[in-house]
A and B are shown apart, each in its own frame.
Chain A
Amino acid sequence: MFDRDAWLEVAHNVLAHPLRTTLTGVSVALGIFILVVMQGLGYGLQHGVEGQFADDAVNSIWVEGGRTQIAYRGNQSNRPVRLTNADLPGIASQADTIPAFSRRIRLWGAEIVWENPQGQNKGGGYRVRGVDPAHIELERSVLLSGRYINERDVLDLRKVAVVGPNIVQDLFGKTDPVGAFIRINAVLFQVVGTFEDPGSRWENRVAYIPFSTAQQLYRTEGWVDQILYSTGNMETEATVAQSGRMLSWLKDVKAVHPDDSRGIRVDNNNEEYAMYASIFEGIRLFIWGIGLMTLLAGAVGVANILAIGVKERTKEIGVRKALGATNSSIVSLVVMESTVLMLVSGSLGLMLAVGLLSVVAPMANHEYFQNPQVDHRIALFALGVLVLTGLASGLGPALRAVAIRPVEALRDE
């Protein structure tokens, strides 16, 4: 029920004590402001980390050969270790189940040229990768048009390519590239699809061709540069055990010393992601901690100010009672005052924080810090906590104050 008179009385009392009102209001606004801004920064960090892992599937394991550092079993150090087609059955047997699997051949600087209908050549240096169909999931590429490399392409050693957005833009402009023919290092390929990769800009300067075609053209020895496979829904610990097993087995097969960390690399994205996730979870908890502490400090400050305020008003409360106020009218007056104060200043703090974050967000584009945002649930939670604190801290002293008989409240000290 809206009692205009009661609210006017509340407004009058709140405005009649500028210092007390300002102090309380600043504590509340600051508490909310700091909590919301800290949370926003926490989200910025989280988004940054997630951005780092947007490139590749987080549940994937990447295997590749390197160079040995330690002489072992009659082999000298600095020996290149190559994976080959012959290793595949063994690798598959080491993994329990492989929901997705792809071999990969990497060409770092391939020349890609398109001859447009006007007879002009457009071209540049790009990356080319020979991959299997499941690669799209493991690399987390997004198909934009046409299709990706398929089984048939691999089986038939087709000369088809799926090109990234930078190649499309550089070579084709606004022309649809699907169906067009391009030359990759002078070999003619037909473009069958386009993709984009949210990971990094380098990933968008890539053309994918069938693995078998790439191997035939560029790895005539039967080498495989990388093997990628997904671990599905496996728990991180299980994937760690599996990748460890895989590494030991490969080292044994490839005669790499067990302590040699460069000979064979088995990178478990699960593990890395879990590690980063736990670090950033820690940071987020830390930020939460600081935010809650700030909120708590603000709440304690507010409680103090309100308690002192009510204590100061013992005499006023006595006068009001002598003039006919009931206990409940006094308690509700004090509670309404603190609630109004909390709500108004809390909302101000919230608006300031939201304003600051919306100004900062477009500017924040660091590798590990992107798109800080306000979690409205947290903001409302914080506001709720402060309002409840205000109620509780106003209510206690108000109840004590009305419990004092007016005669004692009015006694001249």
Chain B
Amino acid sequence: MSLKMSCGADGPKGASIGEHHPFAGRFNEVVHFAFLEVSRLHAPNPGGVPKTVVASGNKSKRSEVKDKSTCIFARMIELQSITKSYTTGSQSLQVLKGVDMQVSAGELVAIMGSSGSGKSTLLNILGLLDAYDGGQYRLDGKNMAGLSERRAAELRREMLGFVFQSFNLIPFKSAAENVALPLYYQKVPRKERARRSHALLERVGLLEWADHLPSQMSGGQKQRVAIARALAASPRVILADEPTGALDSATSEDVMSLLKELNGEGMTMVVVTHEAEIAAACGRTIRLRDGLVESQGHV
């Protein structure tokens, strides 16, 4: 199966029209969802691992995919005038000064910007890891204003997968246990957790490393475990903070192609990066400058 052909994120290189074309986003999504439906019907699914991650065997999610195939402009992430400031002592620093951005379902979007432009803050707000001060954030159409800690945890558990620059694997847990951790919080039974974590490790090519501790793995392997972990709970969106920041270029490519592969299967992805090559590999780039969106390509 040709992933490139399916992936709207591939932009000019694939079977899509150029990024700067006024209908680019729309066209890409049509192609993308058409492919999704086909791949879901025909793709073999060895080991019970959801090849199409969005359609992960969860009934409600499967029906959502169907809904989206009819509503091709589904906004997964929508920010309007988001502001955020931090107070250190008596000094207040406004990091985000009114960010507007949208990410459609199935998109692979890069967020770029110089150091201090607010991209990590933005990602944390997107990931419900941090609260915003003003504006509106809609995730999958739902308003995220005034979420309780418990509800935020629930949404993180069900909707979001995280990939961090420094992997953030739990050092005393094996690769399989790390991958299974989100499932633990979803109260998936132990045996099922083990089965799914092993399947996900196989998916990222690390099945034989299942029982190894993070300290016994290379950076690239750790990041693949982290990606498998992000996928474990069958999220709708993966948020990656400098996912290749701690990796050499060959490994970076490896990790990016894995992320792209997942995106090709329909996963919405937001990647914060300062590396142009990484951004280039994404379908669209949102540039931040001094807490504002400088450009966000065509939505």
Chain A bound to chain B: yes
Contact code string A287-328 (vs B, CB < 8 Å = 1, else 0): 000000000000000000000000000011011111111110
> How far, in angstroms, from A406 to B130 measured CA to CA in the complex?
8
- Cβ–Cβ contact A325 & B168, under 8 A: no
Among B130, B165, B182, point to the contact of A324 (Cβ < 8 A). Answer: B182
- The interface residues of chain A lying within 8 Å CB-to-CB of B187 are 5
- Cβ–Cβ contact B165 & A8, under 8 A: no
- The interface residues of chain A lying within 8 Å CB-to-CB of B169 are 319
Does chain A have a CB within 8 A of B39? no
- Chain A binding surface, main DSSP class: helix
- Cβ–Cβ contact A13 & B182, under 8 A: no
Does chain B have a CB within 8 A of A329? yes
- Cβ–Cβ contact B166 & A412, under 8 A: yes
Does chain A have a CB within 8 A of B150? yes
For window 109-161 of B, CB contacts with A under 8 Å fall at 124, 127, 129-130, 149-150, 153-154, 156-158
- Cβ–Cβ contact B165 & A326, under 8 A: no
- The interface residues of chain A lying within 8 Å CB-to-CB of B23 are none
Does chain A have a CB within 8 A of B35? no
Q: A8-B190, A315-B168, A410-B164 are in contact. Are A325 and B173 (CB under 8 A)?
A: no
Q: Which residue of A lies closest to B159 (CB)?
A: A324
> How far, in angstroms, from A18 to B210 measured CA to CA in the complex?
22
- Cβ–Cβ contact A407 & B130, under 8 A: yes
Does chain B have a CB within 8 A of A405? yes
- Cβ–Cβ contact A324 & B156, under 8 A: yes
Chain B interface extent, by class: 20 to 34
Min CB gap A50→B, angstroms? 54
Contact code string A201-213 (vs B, CB < 8 Å = 1, else 0): 0000000000000
> How far, in angstroms, from A325 to B149 measured CA to CA in the complex?
10
Among B168, B182, B189, point to the contact of A410 (Cβ < 8 A). Answer: B168
- Cβ–Cβ contact B166 & A405, under 8 A: no
Among B130, B168, B190, point to the contact of A405 (Cβ < 8 A). Answer: B130
- Cβ–Cβ contact A323 & B190, under 8 A: no
- The interface residues of chain B lying within 8 Å CB-to-CB of A8 are 190
Does chain B have a CB within 8 A of A9? yes
Q: Which residue of B lies closest to A402 (CB)?
A: B149
Q: Which residue of A lies closest to B230 (CB)?
A: A323
Contact code string B185-218 (vs A, CB < 8 Å = 1, else 0): 1110110000000000000000000000000000
- The interface residues of chain B lying within 8 Å CB-to-CB of A12 are 173, 177
- Cβ–Cβ contact B185 & A324, under 8 A: yes
Does chain A have a CB within 8 A of B71? no
- Cβ–Cβ contact A5 & B184, under 8 A: yes
Does chain A have a CB within 8 A of B43? no
Among A17, A319, A326, point to the contact of B168 (Cβ < 8 A). Answer: A319
Does chain B have a CB within 8 A of A16? yes
> How far, in angstroms, from A407 to B233 measured CA to CA in the complex?
20
> How far, in angstroms, from A405 to B149 measured CA to CA in the complex?
10
> How far, in angstroms, from A410 to B121 measured CA to CA in the complex?
12
- Cβ–Cβ contact A322 & B130, under 8 A: no
- Cβ–Cβ contact A322 & B129, under 8 A: yes
- Cβ–Cβ contact A323 & B172, under 8 A: no
Among B130, B165, B177, B229, point to the contact of A323 (Cβ < 8 A). Answer: B229
Min CB gap B260→A, angstroms? 23
- The interface residues of chain A lying within 8 Å CB-to-CB of B185 are 320, 323-325, 329
The 6 residue pairs across chains A and B that have the minimum distance between CB atoms = A324-B157, A16-B172, A324-B185, A407-B124, A323-B182, A407-B129
> What are 25 sample pairs from A and B whose C-beta atoms fall under 8 A apart?
A5-B187, A8-B190, A318-B168, A321-B129, A321-B156, A322-B129, A322-B156, A322-B168, A323-B157, A323-B182, A323-B233, A324-B153, A324-B154, A324-B156, A324-B182, A326-B150, A326-B153, A327-B149, A327-B150, A405-B129, A405-B130, A406-B129, A410-B129, A412-B165, A412-B166
